[in-house]
A and B are shown apart, each in its own frame.
Chain A
Amino acid sequence: MAKLVISHVSLKYHTVEDEIEALHDFNLQVEAREFISIVGPSGCGKSTLLSLIAGLMKPTTGMIMLDGSPISGTTQKIGYMLQQDYLFEWRTILDNALLGLEVMRRKTPDSIARVKQMLKDYGLSGFENSYPQQLSGGMRQRVALIRTLATEPDLLLLDEPFSALDYQTRLAVGEDVCRILYQHQKTVIMVTHDIAEAISMADRVIVMTPRPGRIKSKHVIDFGPEYNHGSPLKRRESPRFREYFAAIWKELNSSEQ
């Protein structure tokens, strides 16, 4: 059974002036431990799709099933990482990382110890009692990832998680995040507009059409056994990388006309 099943989902936004169809008859199945990247022109409903999966909105029609049961509202099985870190500047790094657990009333000596260990593992030891403004962009993004992972979700939604970082940091943090996610064996859906980033991280890349968003094409990314679940930087060096890039680039461009 697939981890996540999205069937015939469409969503309409209503404003006084207009009615906008953001998604139209969207269908997708995601297997457990799969890493899916979704690319598409801006405004194609990528972020809307993540909000629907996260249970922040209800689809106008259609259904989303997680582990065989329909999603109705937010669930602790899903972790959502936003475009920026949105660390609270009045909280220490440790308290920021504990935010999700605190909201879910799951802050226990055990879970605190686990989060402290994660901070240590991901190169943030000594910063537990610092405040966010004392950290670099890459470090802040890692804290945001720990905040998401601390609640132990099975399915992670990443909404352009690196877009606020400069290119250099972006590659480095992407590398870290991939390693951490493979380690934890998470199912991941990442939305991005960076084709190279999508190919370098995912098992499958989904290309969406402009609004109303539908699936235009699906691309299975397979670099061979020595590359799969490997470092994104290494995958970028693979000869097949260019082929995938060219194919998806073409798809995206033809959809914009």
Chain B
Amino acid sequence: MNSKQGYSLEHRKYLRRIRVRQRTILVLQILLLISVFVLWEIAANRGWINQFITSKPSRAWTAAVNLFNRGELWRHLGYTIGETVLGFTVGTMAGIVIAAVLWWSDFVSRILDPYIVILNSVPKVALGPIFIVWLGTGLKAVVAMAIATSIIVTIMVVHNGFKNIDPNKIKLMRTFGASRLQIFTKVVIPASVPTMIAALKVSVGLSLVGTIVGEFLGSKAGLGYLIVYGGQIFNMSLVMAAVVMLSVVSALLYYLVALLERKVVRFNH
């Protein structure tokens, strides 16, 4: 009875209206992006804005192509994506383990609580020089930055999720004589999957922030390095090209997490 032919004329009209609306929104979104770039190009060519400090899309494109021809584009992209994914993975896993420890022992959680709150509000950029002294400039310090920016939020969000599980579900497990480990693996973890995905969504963005800041402070590769280097030699085309690529990378990472969410969270809507 749900076949397409079975629908009434009004319902088909309704569906078409929705489809048209969605398509219009998409078209306008793309048009908006294109017109910003076109306007930027025209404004620079006509001299409405100073090309030297704003660059323009065609020159940014050339800068990107030059990087590609020199074989450096993939290296820089690879560094940034690799550092982010590494920092994000380690940060998330360590964050979930720490959240589990806090859930396990309320006593430990009470002791650590003020420190976690303070660490959360400390700007992680301030830790950059420390990481560079300890780990040297390069990959290790950048990954440490990415972990530092994402781990605290992961701990807080996931621990909160663990604590907010319906106590009756835990009572039910206890009536069967379940051990604390069984309660953790059979209730707490599966019930917290949506929370953990939500934490991933936040921490993937924060890891990227940490990575870029780390690359700013001390590195020889990555989009953050390109942006700082381009700024120092006043090559704004290189800076703009790197910023646009960074936007694409961040959208891509977010999309990957959203994809994971759709795969995993099937039963929790």
A76-B267 in contact given A86-B168, A86-B169, A103-B186 (Cβ < 8 Å): no
Shortest CB distance B173–A (Å): 7
Q: Say yes or no for A122: interface residue by CB 8 A criterion.
A: no
Binds A, one of B175-183, B200-208, B222-230: B175-183
Q: Say yes or no for A167: interface residue by CB 8 A criterion.
A: no
B267 partner, pick from A78, A82, A89, A103, beta carbons under 8 A: A89
Verify B176–A99 contact, CB threshold 8 A: yes
Q: Give the interface SS of chain B, mostly helix, strand, loop or mixed.
A: helix
Give 1 or 0 for each of B137-168: 1 = CB within 8 Å of chain A CB: 00000000000000000000000000000101
Verify A80–B175 contact, CB threshold 8 A: yes
Which residues of B41-80 have CB atoms within 8 Å of chain A's CB atoms? none
Q: Say yes or no for A205: interface residue by CB 8 A criterion.
A: no
* CA A222 to CA B88, docked complex, whole Å: 68
Give 1 or 0 for each of A82-115: 1 = CB within 8 Å of chain B CB: 1110101111000000011011100000000000
* CA A135 to CA B21, docked complex, whole Å: 36
Residue of A nearest to B265 (CB): A90
Binds A, one of B10-18, B98-106, B187-195: B187-195
Interface size class of B (residues with CB under 8 A): 10 to 19
Verify A86–B166 contact, CB threshold 8 A: yes
Which residues from chain B contact A163 at a C-beta distance below 8 Å?
A: none
Q: Say yes or no for B268: interface residue by CB 8 A criterion.
A: yes
Verify A103–B178 contact, CB threshold 8 A: yes
Q: Say yes or no for B174: interface residue by CB 8 A criterion.
A: yes
Verify B182–A103 contact, CB threshold 8 A: yes
Which residues from chain A contact B166 at a C-beta distance below 8 Å?
A: 86
Which residues from chain A contact B193 at a C-beta distance below 8 Å?
A: 90
Shortest CB distance B174–A (Å): 6
* CA A56 to CA B191, docked complex, whole Å: 23
Verify B175–A74 contact, CB threshold 8 A: yes
Verify B191–A90 contact, CB threshold 8 A: yes
Residue of B nearest to A144 (CB): B172
Verify A151–B268 contact, CB threshold 8 A: no
Residue of A nearest to B166 (CB): A86
Total of A-B residue pairs, C-beta within 8 Å: 53
Q: Say yes or no for B19: interface residue by CB 8 A criterion.
A: no
Q: Say yes or no for B171: interface residue by CB 8 A criterion.
A: yes
Q: How many residues of A contact B (CB 8 A)?
A: 25
A76 partner, pick from B169, B177, B191, beta carbons under 8 A: B177
B171 partner, pick from A56, A88, A91, A103, beta carbons under 8 A: A56
A82-B171 in contact given A88-B187, A88-B190, A90-B191 (Cβ < 8 Å): yes
A151 partner, pick from B176, B182, B190, beta carbons under 8 A: B176
Verify A82–B176 contact, CB threshold 8 A: no
Which residues of A4-36 have CB atoms within 8 Å of chain B's CB atoms? none
Which residues from chain A contact B178 at a C-beta distance below 8 Å?
A: 103
* CA A86 to CA B175, docked complex, whole Å: 13
Which residues of A24-78 have CB atoms within 8 Å of chain B's CB atoms? 54, 56, 73-76, 78
Residue of B nearest to A50 (CB): B175
Residue of B nearest to A157 (CB): B175
Which residues from chain A contact B174 at a C-beta distance below 8 Å?
A: 56, 74
Which residues of A199-255 have CB atoms within 8 Å of chain B's CB atoms? none
A103-B177 in contact given A86-B169, A89-B267 (Cβ < 8 Å): yes
23 A-B pairs (CB sep. < 8 Å): A54-B175, A56-B171, A56-B174, A56-B175, A75-B177, A76-B177, A80-B175, A82-B171, A82-B172, A82-B175, A83-B168, A86-B169, A88-B169, A88-B187, A89-B267, A90-B190, A90-B191, A99-B176, A102-B186, A103-B182, A104-B176, A104-B177, A133-B267
Q: Which 8 A-B pairs have the closest CB atoms?
A: A80-B175, A74-B177, A103-B176, A100-B176, A103-B178, A90-B190, A90-B267, A86-B172
